[in-house]
């Protein structure tokens, strides 16, 4: 693990030194948004801190941690469908061993949202009996899936306890910075429970280049801010360090073996239909293999 960390640092240094100028990680609107989030946090009964399941440490906003850890908090590792399940489970064990309520999610999956709502109910059990209004705040770095999560929570909660309010939808988009203002969504009555969507915020200065490049690679920072070439070089260096070209070489080799036996390229589906096994793309593999060698 330590070897991989050192190698990751080396990859980020190489990518960074490739040039491209200084990086401004903190656009103007984030300072105002950070202040507004801190203000509202004082009123929140529960915080859902959304992090990216692929980079659960790098996607933490370190400046907010002292405030967040003093609140009732659920750590939601979102985009679990894009993460390596073995590594993600290791992180879940780690956070749970630190007595932190933690859950891995896919914001578009009803199963995930039902599990999250179960945990929210559990955390708010006592407050639900006492308070007429409760506030759940969703915070996290840009593009981590906060608004998608809120839309799913809103939809599922509304199907369980219909709220008379008009159903609003939070704006979701593939680029960071779509949500610019804090907005509330009512998900229950008696007590009234509101979920607050917040703009994604980063720390004003990212402490090390590797963290910055991981955030860029997973979409928390626009490609143009860091530079497409830097991001691509970092990715290719990581693939190289993890010996991905070697793995692909083996797959290519196996493909040649399949080609020698044409009967092997088909397999029976569960209903007896014959379906073609998905072929490994030879030219893509060779292209990335070559690109990795060039960045080394």
Ligand X SMILES: Nc1nc2c(ncn2[C@@H]2O[C@H](COP(=O)(O)OP(=O)(O)OP(=O)(O)O)[C@@H](O)[C@H]2O)c(=O)[nH]1
User: Do 74 and 103 form a contact (C-beta atoms < 8 A)?
Assistant: yes
Nearest to ligand X of 61, 211 (CB atom): 61
User: Do 153 and 195 form a contact (C-beta atoms < 8 A)?
Assistant: yes
**Rounded least distance, CB 220 to ligand X, Å:** 8
Q: Can residue 153 be called a binding residue for ligand X (CB under 6 A)?
A: no
Give the interface segment with ligand X, choosing from 35-43, 74-82, 253-261, 281-289 (CB under 6 A).
74-82
For residue 1, give every residue at least 6 positions away whose Cβ sits within 8 Å of its Cβ, in sequence order, or none. Answer: none
Tokens 């489970």 correspond to: 89
Provide the phi-psi class of 272: left if phi over 0, else alpha when psi is between -120 and 50, else beta.
left
Q: Can residue 295 be called a binding residue for ligand X (CB under 6 A)?
A: no
Q: Give the residue, chosen from 51, 73, 146, 230, that forms a contact with ligand X under the rule CB under 6 A.
A: 146
146 in a labelled binding site: no
166 in a labelled binding site: no
233 in a labelled binding site: no
The pair phi, psi for residue 45, each rounded to 5°, is -90, -25
**Rounded least distance, CB 120 to ligand X, Å:** 17
- Residue 45 tokens read as 């009964």
Nearest to ligand X of 11, 77 (CB atom): 77
263 in a labelled binding site: no
9 in a labelled binding site: no
Q: Can residue 106 be called a binding residue for ligand X (CB under 6 A)?
A: yes
Q: Can residue 66 be called a binding residue for ligand X (CB under 6 A)?
A: no
Which positions from 180 to 199 touch ligand X by CB under 6 A, shown as an x/- string? Answer: -------------------x
Give the interface segment with ligand X, choosing from 35-43, 73-81, 225-233, 248-256 (CB under 6 A).
73-81
Q: Can residue 176 be called a binding residue for ligand X (CB under 6 A)?
A: yes
Q: Can residue 227 be called a binding residue for ligand X (CB under 6 A)?
A: no
Nearest to ligand X of 107, 235 (CB atom): 107
Q: How far, in Å, CA of 217 to CA of 251, rounded?
A: 25
Q: What angle do CA 44, 41, 38 make, to 5 degrees?
A: 170
Q: How far is CA 110 from CA 82, 152, 156, 275, in A?
A: 17, 7, 8, 30
User: Do 111 and 85 form a contact (C-beta atoms < 8 A)?
Assistant: no
Give the end-to-end CA distance of the chain in Å, rounded to a whole number.
Answer: 21
Number of continuous H segments (helices) and E segments (strands) in the chain: 12, 8
Q: Can residue 173 be called a binding residue for ligand X (CB under 6 A)?
A: yes
Which parts are annotated binding residues?
78-81, 200
- State the residues that interact with ligand X by CB under 6 A: 78-79, 81-82, 106-108, 140, 142-148, 172-174, 176-179, 199-200
């Amino acid at each position: 693990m330590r070897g991989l960390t050192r190698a990751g640092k080396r990859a980020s240094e190489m990518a960074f030194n490739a040039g491209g100028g200084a990086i401004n990680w903190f656009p103007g609107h984030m300072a105002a948004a950070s202040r507004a989030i801190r203000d509202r946090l004082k009123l929140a009964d529960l915080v859902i801190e959304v992090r990216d399941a692929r980079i659960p440490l790098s996607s933490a906003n370190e400046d907010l941690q002292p405030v967040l850890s003093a609140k009732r908090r659920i750590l939601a590792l979102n985009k679990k469908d894009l993460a390596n399940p073995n590594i993600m489970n290791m992180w879940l064990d780690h956070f749970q061993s630190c007595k932190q309520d933690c859950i891995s999610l896919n914001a578009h999956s009803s199963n995930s949202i039902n599990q999250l709502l179960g945990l929210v109910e559990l955390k708010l059990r006592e407050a639900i009996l006492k308070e007429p209004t409760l506030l759940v705040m969703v915070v996290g770095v840009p593009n981590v899936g906060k608004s998608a999560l809120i839309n799913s929570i809103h939809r599922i909660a509304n199907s369980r306890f219909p709220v008379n309010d008009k159903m609003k939808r939070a704006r979701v988009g593939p680029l960071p910075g779509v949500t610019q203002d804090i907005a509330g969504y009512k998900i229950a009555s008696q007590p009234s429970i509101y979920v607050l969507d917040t703009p994604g915020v980063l720390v004003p200065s990212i402490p090390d280049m590797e963290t910055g490049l991981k955030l860029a690679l997973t979409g928390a920072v626009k490609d143009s801010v860091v530079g497409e070439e830097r991001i691509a070089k970092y990715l290719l260096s990581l693939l190289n360090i993890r010996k991905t070209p070697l793995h692909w070489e083996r797959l290519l080799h196996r493909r040649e073996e399949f080609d020698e036996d044409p009967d092997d390229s088909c397999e029976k589906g569960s209903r007896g239909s014959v379906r073609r096994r998905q072929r490994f793309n030879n030219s893509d593999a060779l292209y990335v293999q070559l690109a990795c060698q060039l960045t080394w």
